[in-house]
Amino acid sequence: MSTANIKTDLIGRKASAYAPASTGNVSVGFDLLGAALIRVDQKPLGDTVHVEFAEQDQLINSGEFAHVCPPDKNQNLAWIAYSLFKNKLTNPEQFPAVKMELVKSLPVGSGLGSSACSVVASLTALNRLFDFPYTDQELLVLMGEVEAGASGDLHYDNVAPSYFGGLQLMSPHQDTPVINLPNPDSWYWVVAFPGFSLPTKEAREVLPKQVDKSVAIDNAQYLAAFVAYLYQGEQTLAAKTIKDVIAEPYRADLIAGFKTSKQYLLAQDALAVGISGAGPTLFALTTDLTKAQQYKEYLEQNYILADKGFVHICQCATLGAKDIQVG
Q: Which residue is nearest to ligand HSE (CB)?
A: 277
Cα separation, 299 vs 41, whole angstroms: 18
Known binding residue 118? Answer is no
Q: Is 111 annotated as a binding residue?
A: yes
Residues 114/23, Cβ–Cβ less than 8 Å: no
DSSP bridge partners of 39: 314
- For 272, the 3-state DSSP assignment is strand
Whole-number minimum distance, CB 170 to ligand HSE, in Å?
10
207 annotated as belonging to a binding site for a ligand: no
**Cβ closer to ligand HSE: 100 or 278?**
278
Of 52 and 157, CB closest to ligand HSE: 157
Q: What is the 3-state secondary structure (H, E, C) of 85-142?
A: HHHCCCCHHHCCEEEEEEECCCCCCCCCCHHHHHHHHHHHHHHHHCCCCCCHHHHHHH
**Are residues 117 and 47 in contact, defined by beta-carbon separation less than 8 angstroms?**
yes
Q: At closest approach, how far in Å is the CB of 60 from ligand HSE?
A: 26
Determine if residue 129 is labeled as part of a ligand binding site: no
Identify which of residues 129 and 169 has a Cβ nearer to ligand HSE in the complex.
169
**Site residues, ligand HSE (CB under 6 A):** 24-25, 30-31, 113, 151, 155, 157-158, 200, 203-204, 247, 277-278
Choose between 52 and 244: whose C-beta lies nearer to ligand HSE. Answer: 244
Secondary structure of residue 223 in the 3-state scheme: helix
Least gap, CB of 203 to ligand HSE (angstroms)? 6
* Residue 29 CB, nearest approach to ligand HSE (Å): 9
Which stretch of DSSP H or E encloses residue 11?
none
**Between 59 and 142, whose beta carbon lies closer to ligand HSE?**
142
Least distance from ligand HSE to the Cβ atom of residue 274, Å? 11
Cβ atoms of 16 and 326 within 8 Å: the answer is yes
274 is in an annotated binding site: no
Q: How far apart are CA 297 and CA 311, in angstroms?
A: 8
Q: Is 112 assigned to a binding site?
A: yes
Is 115 part of any known ligand binding site? Answer: yes
Q: Which residues are annotated as a binding site for ATP?
A: 107-117
